[in-house]
Chains A and B, each alone.
Chain A
Amino acid sequence: MKNYDIVIVGGGPAGLAAAVSAKQNGVDSILILERDKELGGILNQCIHNGFGLHTFKEELTGPEYAERFIRQVQDLGIEFKLNTMVMEISENRVVTAMNREDGLFDLQAKAVILAMGCRERARGALNIPGYRPAGIYSAGTAQRLVNMEGYMPGREVVILGSGDIGLIMARRMTLEGAKVKVVAELMPYSGGLKRNIVQCLDDYGIPLKLSHTVVDIKGKERVEGVTLAQVDENSRPIPGTEEFYSCDTLLLSVGLIPENEISRGMGVEINPVTSGPKVNESLETNMEGVFACGNVLHVHDLVDFVSEEAAAAGRNAAAYVKTVSLGTESTRQSDRKTDEEYLAERIPDKAAEQEICLIPTSGVRYTVPSTIRVSHMDEHLTVRFRVGNVYKNCYVSAYFDEKRVIHRKRQVVAPGEMEELKLTKEQILQYPNLKTITIKIEEA
């Protein structure tokens, strides 16, 4: 069995940035496993611009943004395997993968970085009634067909869901010759970025119907039309508001779900709110040496934040590998302990370690990370979170136990946009017996 210091599952933006950062932090033995035929992940089909403003201070398209990282991976000589599916990972970090050339093979990793990304929520999750004809696509599937293969999935389109992919596809389909009749959104606000509403819908006169959903799909072989209806505050369709739109295509952009089947299989604890792993300040899961970043951890809105988060995961994984390696190499010679035995001894007494719980409440749905071990904390820590509703003229507050320490005015926060708070080690060390940090939205 081949050994690697770090095996990274996924060669999309998270996996690439994690690899680059791990390498720059002194780990040489790294392998990226990518299931697709090229590196870059979903960025390859996101041909629109708007990526990289934070990272590169310029506006790039998805493939261009990916290429910047792919080039770094190549320049740094980081190893990767394409068309390779990770089948499972054992709790001892034996990664089982498969491809055409190598067949089914095992790798022993000192650390694993989970960077598998997410998938789109399908029609069934919404229980949309009606027929099941051809012409119902998730927005991402349509994006792949149009942007990478050059095929038009339909001519007359209704889009359900105003998530970013849905908005982007409204523009793409329009530019490639389709008529996008309407975008319907179940919630009273859009789940997408404002710039996308302006540039993808308003520019092309595509109406956005908030508080609307699809209540029927017509057509036995191919979609012939859909019926939209307005919904009440409990998302229930209001009788009498039905409106029929003839169309041959229904695109669904109704949410993304982190793909954590492999994580669950190895025993990683999942946060039910994010559907991603629960992680500590190092972005390490409950399984020692297993880190997570990017959309597999929680769904991001901007790839720049994915890269930033993944770089932290790569750095932390590198630090972890160095600690483990130092220990194993010096003791191995004397008492011939296995990695596992040595690791068992190395794990510090968890009870003795100061661990702070992050508690999301009052409008804050979750935080990443969920816990902070002060001893492992960098000087700066970015806490990312999302809110559950649109709040205007509010404050984002952090309470250290009972004391309000951060109180930041915000004009608007919305569920579609990820929020962040920066904590410093210095700040936290001022509260020696700190147990919890509560993050909440407070009305002005």
Chain B
Amino acid sequence: MYDVIIIGAGVCGAAVARELSRYQAKVCVMEKEEDVCCGTSKANSAIVHAGYDAVTGSLKAKLNVRGNEMMGELSKELDFPFERNGSLVLCFNEDEMPNLQELYDRGVANGVKELRILSKEEVLRMEPNVTDDVYAALYAPTGGIVCPFGLNIALAENACANGVEFHFNTEVTEIRKVDEGYELQTNKGAFQTKYVVNAAGVYADKFHNMVSGNKIHITARRGDYCLLDKEAGKHVSKTIFALPGKLGKGILVTPTIHGNLLIGPTAVNVEDKEGVNTTAEGLAQVIEKAGMSVHNIPTRQVITSFAGLRAHEDGDDFIIGEVEDAKGFIDCAGIESPGIASSPAIGEMAAEILKEKMGLKKKDNFISARQGIKNPNTLSKEERNALIKENPAYGNIICRCEMITEGEIIDAIRRPLGAKSLDGVKRRTRAGMGRCQSGFCSPRTMEILARECDMSMFDITKSGGESKLVVGTNKDTV
């Protein structure tokens, strides 16, 4: 019997788990995929929004501003990459100025600090590659960029270090109210728990509706993105949005925390909640619209494209709290943008609700800090040499595009909640995320995985399940 089962090891599930791990409780996270950060959390804009977008008074507005405030400290505590690079919302003619002003006013009302409206000249001085058609812009210095994998993994690892159990490849199929709480039926058997946190992303409606008569409905809203080579990473320094309006909504141009350039997303409602396929139209739209805000984007330098699904709830706001007709069942549903930015605050809020309900007591031995995988590229020559002397694997480059060493890959595999697949290694270390997109390093990373996990090469996957990478040996079918 668990005190709390959290469904979903995305960024919200992990944030709730980490906050709950401050208290004396038996907590478990159930994830249908083989790793944390496999759904919406892995494929998004990786933006820590400032908080001027959402309707004042909404949960989105409150949690975004709070989450943004928390992110700086959290990134230090849990050692993941985050930077306040600032964001600009561009407006293209005088007619749109009232809309920009409205956005400013809303931001101020939401509690966003340091907002300013910049003139065309100020914008172009700040971002020379923004199109000359710009008329003015809203500047939010508190906007930031984060490594979404880094954030999600850090939260989960820290929760794990504080005693939270993680069950992967465990898909909840049914939830039943029982006397003491709930029974969760899964492909790995039944589990009992007093409380449930529903952080199931695009599937949160399914679980909510299993226990409640007040139905919610989540639409998977697909967004296509293109990621550009690091050579293009300095094309802009701030995150560039266009004012929602004539140009449509939401195609942004931003540097990523690791120095690439990211453009996207589109917005298309899809039936299939696993439908993360990009489309030719979507990718063309991304390139076209990004070019309307920022000129001369070197689209020849696209190194990969991907699509992610936003969990859009019909009510257009986050749903966080105990379900009225299902006591002990806490929703964290409808988490779409600004979900990444809000996640620390979502975790805080959900944990607070449970603390009150359950009368939870703080642990004495809570470990608040977590150390990430050492990044030798940030070390001085002397420090790096000391590291290699201690562990020669840090002298062996495996991914030559991102300059990732064997030492980092081994750390990613061996640490708690370690990587079990090529994508798991990639999300933790960036090996394979560079310009050759794992062409050179995948066979070597596969070898390291096989060695470290004592697995056959035939069982190494790209991302769990049936995503096998090699299927046999030479001539075995001849």
Q: Is the CB of A134 within 8 A of B468?
A: yes
- A: interface residue count bin: 35 or more
Q: Is the CB of A152 within 8 A of B473?
A: yes
- A contact residues around B384 at 8 Å (CB): 103-104
**CB proximity to A under 8 Å, residues B382-399:** 384-385, 388-389, 392-393, 395-397
Distance between Cα atoms of A216 and B282 in the complex (Å): 13
A357 CB → nearest B CB, Å: 26
B476 within 8 A of A: yes
- B contact residues around A178 at 8 Å (CB): 477
Q: Is the CB of A138 within 8 A of B439?
A: yes
Q: Is the CB of B463 within 8 A of A221?
A: yes
Question: 0/1 per residue, A131-174, Cβ < 8 Å to B?
Answer: 11111011011001110011111110000000000000000000
Q: Is the CB of A104 within 8 A of B381?
A: yes
B149 CB → nearest A CB, Å: 15
A222 within 8 A of B: yes
B168 CB → nearest A CB, Å: 15
Q: Is the CB of B474 within 8 A of A146?
A: yes
Q: Is the CB of B274 within 8 A of A220?
A: yes
Q: Is the CB of A176 within 8 A of B466?
A: no
**CB proximity to B under 8 Å, residues A74-99:** 83, 85, 87, 98-99
**CB proximity to A under 8 Å, residues B376-414:** 381, 384-385, 388-389, 392-393, 395-397, 400-401, 403
A262 CB → nearest B CB, Å: 10
Distance between Cα atoms of A412 and B244 in the complex (Å): 54
Q: Which of B113-121, B155-163, B297-305 contacts A (4 or more CB under 8 A)?
A: B297-305
Supposing A100-B392, A119-B435, A151-B472 touch, asked if A221 and B400 sit within 8 A by C-beta, the answer is no
Contact of B302 among A103, A127, A138, A150 (CB under 8 A): A127
- B contact residues around A87 at 8 Å (CB): 403
Distance between Cα atoms of A248 and B462 in the complex (Å): 14
Supposing A119-B440, A122-B304 touch, asked if A85 and B397 sit within 8 A by C-beta, the answer is yes
Q: Is the CB of A122 within 8 A of B436?
A: yes
B475 CB → nearest A CB, Å: 6
Distance between Cα atoms of A120 and B471 in the complex (Å): 23
Supposing A98-B397, A99-B395, A129-B277 touch, asked if A248 and B437 sit within 8 A by C-beta, the answer is no
Q: Is the CB of B304 within 8 A of A133?
A: no
Query: Which of B279, B283, B302, B470 has most chain A Cβ within 10 Å?
Result: B470
Total number of residue pairs linking A and B with CB closer than 8 Å: 143
Distance between Cα atoms of A129 and B287 in the complex (Å): 14
Question: 0/1 per residue, A212-238, Cβ < 8 Å to B?
Answer: 000111001110000000000000010
Distance between Cα atoms of A43 and B477 in the complex (Å): 27
Supposing A35-B400, A127-B226, A177-B478 touch, asked if A149 and B462 sit within 8 A by C-beta, the answer is no
B469 within 8 A of A: yes
A203 within 8 A of B: no
Distance between Cα atoms of A220 and B465 in the complex (Å): 10
Distance between Cα atoms of A122 and B397 in the complex (Å): 20
B457 within 8 A of A: yes
A16 CB → nearest B CB, Å: 20
Distance between Cα atoms of A101 and B468 in the complex (Å): 34
Query: Which of A125, A155, A237 has most chain B Cβ within 10 Å?
Result: A125
Q: Is the CB of B471 within 8 A of A152?
A: yes
- B: interface residue count bin: 35 or more
A123 within 8 A of B: yes
Q: Is the CB of B397 within 8 A of A152?
A: no
A327 within 8 A of B: no
Supposing A127-B283, A221-B465 touch, asked if A101 and B472 sit within 8 A by C-beta, the answer is no
B227 within 8 A of A: yes
B64 within 8 A of A: no
Q: Is the CB of A129 within 8 A of B393?
A: no
A124 within 8 A of B: yes
Contact of B388 among A100, A138, A215 (CB under 8 A): A100
B169 CB → nearest A CB, Å: 13
B2 CB → nearest A CB, Å: 30
Supposing A85-B397, A122-B437, A123-B437 touch, asked if A155 and B471 sit within 8 A by C-beta, the answer is yes
- A contact residues around B436 at 8 Å (CB): 119-120, 122, 138
Q: Is the CB of B439 within 8 A of A140?
A: yes
B302 CB → nearest A CB, Å: 5
- B contact residues around A264 at 8 Å (CB): 231
Contact of A104 among B385, B442, B465, B474 (CB under 8 A): B385
- B contact residues around A26 at 8 Å (CB): none
Q: Is the CB of B305 within 8 A of A144?
A: no
Known: A150-B473, A221-B462. 8 other contacts (CB 8 A): A100-B392, A104-B388, A120-B436, A122-B303, A124-B437, A129-B280, A153-B469, A221-B464
Chain B residues with CB under 8 Å of chain A are 226-227, 231, 274, 276-280, 282-283, 300, 302-306, 381, 384-385, 388-389, 392-393, 395-397, 400-401, 403, 435-440, 442-443, 457, 461-478
